[in-house]
Amino acid sequence: MRLSLPMIDSDRDGMIIHPCADSEAVAQFAATAVLEAAKVAIVSRGVFHWALAGGTTPKRCYELLRDADMDWSKVHVWFGDERCLPVGDAERNDLMADQALLNHVPIPASQIHRMAAELGPEIAADQYSALLAEAPCMDLILLGIGEDGHTASLFPGNPGLDDRRLAIPVYNSPKAPSKRVSMGYSVFNAAHRCLIMVAGKGKTEVMARIRSGERLPVARVEGSEWLIDKDAFD
């Protein structure tokens, strides 16, 4: 179902808008996009590099992909950000991804590239930067958006916004835990395709700020596609 919703100025940052009926439609669109991007990448390059997001709407997308017809042996999974918590902590993004998808599909463990955030922001960022430096551009990146306009673990006013490294140590996050690791804009902006998933009335205000031209962290991702449900625009 395609809705007639207000459109963000697509000329300013090359943003493409995909209006969706609700959060389920956002998740379904994202799941379809993953399958499409994987098919293109595997046919053309023999491998699919995909970066995951945390959050409720991405989780539903992952659940929808459990029974997908995909050559999982050719998929490499990356993480857009991680919280500096012990391995197995319920609040870690990789645990959510495991439970929603990765435990249910035959991706080789060596092709799931986790952030070692349990080692602290600096060590984890250095290690992940080294991994990313050896990898090709991401074929697809999924991102979410917070009510303050953050994406991944890049929050408004944080020094990490201007860090040019491939992976960035994040301190003093306004949301617990205060220490995190995030991919940087250099990775996001180099991706073949980047989807930003936006759902729920809690995102209405921040979307209005972005539509007015406010340069919030999520709006600094270039050439992104926005999957936005009706509630986020009402």
Mind listing the pLDDT tens digit for each residue in 13-23? 456 899 999 99
Q: How confident is the model at residue 4 (pLDDT cuts 50, 70, 90)?
A: very low
CA–CA separation, 62 and 51 (whole Å): 12
The residues near 134 (Cβ < 8 Å, ≥ 6 apart) are none
- pLDDT at residue 16, as a whole number: 86
Of all residues in the chain, what percent carry a pLDDT higher than 90? 88
- Here the tokens at position 13 are 């940052």
Q: What is the DSSP string of 177-200?
A: SS-EEEE-HHHHTTSS-EEEEE-S
Nearest to 170 by CA among 151, 189, 155: 155
The dihedral of CA 107, 108, 111, 117: what is its sign? positive
Q: How confident is the model at residue 216 (pLDDT cuts 50, 70, 90)?
A: very high
117 half-sphere exposure, CB direction, 13 A CA radius: 32
Domains of the chain: 28-233 (3.40.50.1360)
Q: How confident is the model at residue 78 (pLDDT cuts 50, 70, 90)?
A: very high
- pLDDT at residue 6, as a whole number: 44
The residues near 6 (Cβ < 8 Å, ≥ 6 apart) are 211, 233
Q: How confident is the model at residue 9 (pLDDT cuts 50, 70, 90)?
A: very low
Q: How confident is the model at residue 220 (pLDDT cuts 50, 70, 90)?
A: very high
The dihedral of CA 102, 104, 106, 110: what is its sign? positive
Residue with tokens 């306009």: 149
- pLDDT at residue 13, as a whole number: 47
pLDDT tens column, 107-166: 999 999 999 999 999 999 999 999 999 999 999 999 999 999 999 999 999 988 999 999
- pLDDT at residue 1, as a whole number: 31
Is the pLDDT higher at 15 or at 176?
176
- Here the tokens at position 160 are 């990490």
Q: Is the pLDDT of residue 170 over 50?
A: yes
Cβ atoms 77, 93 nearer than 8 A: no
